[in-house]
Amino acid sequence: GTAVWNPLLRRGRQIMTKNIRFKLCGIGYDSNRSEISYKLFGYHYYYEHDYKLEIYECASNTWKYINAPYEEWPIKEPLDNHISLGGNSYWTAYNIETSEYLIRKFDFSKEILKDFCILPCKKNHEGDTHYLSVFRGNRFSMLEQCNRTSEIEIWVTEKKIKNGDKEDVVWMKFMSVSIPDIPRLTLSNQSLGRCPSYFIDDRYEKSFVLCFTDETRHGCIYIAKGGLSRKVKIDDVGDGYSHCIYVPSFIPIPRESSK
C-alpha cells in the first residue's frame, strides 16, 4: 500500500492498493473544481510489460484505470523526482527522437498525460542529470549536473506556471554551483533509487541547499552561498533513507468516504 501524510498536523492515512507492486507517480487534484478533492496517480505492475495506469480518488476510496498509449507512460523516468504544482504532477523526461529534455505532466483535471515544455538544456554528456523543484510557490526550478565535471547549474522559470494546455515557458539561469567532492547525482549513485532534493533562495543572496548521500552512503546536506560552500553530515540518518522538500500546510488529510 501507500500513504498520505501531513507532518505539521501529525495526521496520516493508509491507502491499500490492489497489488503490492504499486508505483506512486504523483498527487494532485482537479483545479477546475471549487472544492479540492485529492487524487493519487500511479501504476500497478504484475509481470514484465504488464502495467496498469490508475488514479485513486481519496474522497470516494475508488480506483480508476486510465487509457493512455504505452509509450507515454512514466515507466522509465526517475519518478521520485516528480513534483506537484497547481493540482498537477510534473517530472523530467528525454525525447530520443528529438534529442530534447522536457517536462512531462499529468493533468488531474482531464486525467491525461502530456508534454508540458522543453527544458533549457541540450544533451551534452551521457548521464547528465536533471531534477525539478518548486520556486517561490508557483514557478519551476531545474537542477542540471554535468556527469563529467559534477558542476551544477540552476534554472528558473521567468513567470508563474499556469494550468493551460500550451504555455510559453521562458527559463532564466539562476546560478552556477561548484562544491568540492559533491557526488554525482546519477541514478546509479542514488540510495535505493531515491532522488536528491534541493532548495534555492534569493531573498538576500542566492543560495543553494542539497540533500543527498555522500561517497560513504551517509545522508548529507550541501550548502552553497556567495562563493562559499560546506557539507554537513546527518549523523542520525543511515543508508537507505528517503527525503523531500516539504512546505508546511494546514490542508487536512482527505478522509475516506463513509459510503
Name the CATH topology of 2-233. Neuraminidase (2.120.10)
User: 241 pLDDT exceeds 70?
Assistant: no
| Rg, the chain, Cα only | 19
Domain boundaries, the chain: 2-233
pLDDT on residue 98: 84
Predicted confidence band of residue 232 (pLDDT cuts 50, 70, 90): very high
Check: CB of residue 199 under 8 Å from CB of residue 209: yes
Mean pLDDT throughout 147-157? 91
pLDDT on residue 142: 95
Q: What is the spatial distance between Cα 131 and Cα 35, in angstroms, rounded to a whole number?
A: 31
Predicted confidence band of residue 49 (pLDDT cuts 50, 70, 90): low
| Residue among 191, 211, 186 at smallest CA distance from 200 | 211
pLDDT on residue 124: 66
Q: What is the spatial distance between Cα 104 and Cα 116, in angstroms, rounded to a whole number?
A: 5
Predicted confidence band of residue 230 (pLDDT cuts 50, 70, 90): very high
Question: Strand, coil or helix: what is 72?
Answer: helix
pLDDT on residue 165: 58
Mean pLDDT (the chain) is 81
Mean pLDDT throughout 1-20? 80
User: 191 pLDDT exceeds 50?
Assistant: no
pLDDT on residue 239: 62
Q: What is the spatial distance between Cα 233 and Cα 216, in angstroms, rounded to a whole number?
A: 11
pLDDT on residue 19: 67
Range in 32-41, 43-52, 171-180, 189-198 the model is least confident about: 189-198
Range in 113-127, 149-163, 220-234, 236-250 the model is least confident about: 236-250
Range in 24-28, 47-51, 87-91, 108-112 the model is least confident about: 47-51
User: 110 or 195: which carries more pLDDT confidence?
Assistant: 110
User: 161 or 163: which carries more pLDDT confidence?
Assistant: 161
Q: Which residues contact 254 (CB under 8 A, 6 or more apart)?
A: 4, 13, 37, 38, 58, 59
pLDDT on residue 167: 67
User: 48 pLDDT exceeds 70?
Assistant: no
